[in-house]
Amino acid sequence: MNNDLFKKLVDLYAGHELPSELEQEVESAAAVDSTMLVEMTTMRNTVDTLQGDPGPEFTEESYQRILMKLYARGAAIQPKAPSPAHLQYHLPIQG
Amino acid sequence: MAEKRWLTALSEGDPNALGAIYELYGERIFRYTFRMLGNRTDAEDATAETFLRVVRRSAELRADGAFRTWLFRIARNLCIDKLRQHKLMELPPDAQYSGAEERTTLRVTVHQALADLPLEYREPLIYCDLEEMSAKEAADILKISVPALKSRLYRGRRALRDKLGSAMERTP
């Protein structure tokens, strides 16, 4: 297999872009080619790690601070008061 | 449908429209700007500025599906300006993740490796792998062709893998 075709197949495999039949063929070929196997595994793990990243949390504080910045700079938007703590949880009534 | 209604309302000067559009897109723009800039404070500033520019340029708005691309382009331009300032000021990125220790360590490593990539490679990874946009949408934001986007995406993934080294040899 020439180098460009090999790289192209690995790129498509890593991004889950190969049709399932071709993916199986590539995996079979990699089973007897350790270089190819390492390349395919590491590239796919890289993509899967990125795609599984939940990202930074958009906290209530950030949400409110952005609203305040918009409001302070004259945008027609109203900052909302955060919900009071006693309204955030519903405790079961005992007795 | 909600987007189209609120964009029309914004272009007509409806005072409730900006709040509604912020509700629809605030979190995505914040996450994107955080990933581009690496710290919460700058991401909050850039997010607020993005929505201010939406209001200022509401006459250009078209509720035809291209709004998201336009919105991300505004955010991108702001991030690039801020990154230039960062280069001058050398601001440290925040630690941004929480969770189990090993997973957190890997994420911080990935985040740092991503931050070290040239912008040319980092942006396609952010759009396609982290923000789950289509290649077409990412290419439109960057004003490049889809093949050019894919070429940068694949080279970016390889560059990231090479930076991460042995961490990528195990099963995630």
Q: Which residues of A touch B52 (CB under 8 A)?
A: 70, 73, 75
CB–CB of B86/B71 below 8 Å? no
Q: How do residues B63-73 score in pLDDT, each as one tens digit?
A: 566 888 999 99
Rounded to the nearest 10°, the torsion over CA B158, B160, B162, B164 is -150
- Nearest residue of chain A to residue B41 (CA atoms): A62
- pTM for the model stands at 0.81
Angle between helices A20-31 and A34-51 (to 10 degrees): 130
Residues B140-151 have a mean pLDDT of: 96
Instruction: Please identify which residue in the block is written with the tokens 């990528």.
Output: B168
DSSP B128: I
Q: Does the distance separating the beta carbons of A48 and B30 come in below 8 Å?
A: no
Question: Residue B13, by phi and psi: left (phi above 0), alpha (psi -120 to 50) or beta?
Answer: left
Q: Which residues of B touch A75 (CB under 8 A)?
A: 18, 51-52, 55
CB–CB of B105/B99 below 8 Å? no
Q: How do residues B94-132 score in pLDDT, each as one tens digit?
A: 655 555 566 667 777 888 899 899 999 999 999 999 999
Instruction: Please identify which residue in the block is written with the tokens 């089973």.
Output: A31
Question: Residue B10, by phi and psi: left (phi above 0), alpha (psi -120 to 50) or beta?
Answer: alpha
ipTM > 0.85? no
A53 shares contact with chain B (CB less than 8 Å) = yes
